[in-house]
């Protein structure tokens, strides 16, 4: 077919409020030059829930309970 696929990929996840999502999407699209063939892709989807580990020290610092 003559199609070459580069196996290296970078995945970037950005979580943003819905009022900022479109602006961030547009800025990333332009900055990453995704309008150039072969430069990658971008997509946006609504996030219902998310969980991750947050160190107790960080929680205390941002909540003002240091």
pLDDT winner (highest mean) among 1-5, 20-24, 39-43, 61-65: 20-24
The span from the CA of 44 to the CA of 21, in Å, is 8
The torsion angle over the Cα atoms of residues 40, 46, 48 and 49, rounded to 10 degrees, is 40
- pTM greater than 0.75: no
The span from the CA of 55 to the CA of 49, in Å, is 19
Indicate whether 4 pLDDT > 80. no
Q: Which two three-digit tokens encode residue 38?
A: 């072969």
Indicate whether 66 pLDDT > 80. no
């Amino acid at each position: 077919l003559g199609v070459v696929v580069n196996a290296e990929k970078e995945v970037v996840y950005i979580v943003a409020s819905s009022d900022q999502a479109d602006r961030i999407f547009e800025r990333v699209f332009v900055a990453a030059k995704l309008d150039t063939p072969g430069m990658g892709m971008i997509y946006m989807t609504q996030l219902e829930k998310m969980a991750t580990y947050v160190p107790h020290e960080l929680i205390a610092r941002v909540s003002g309970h240091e």
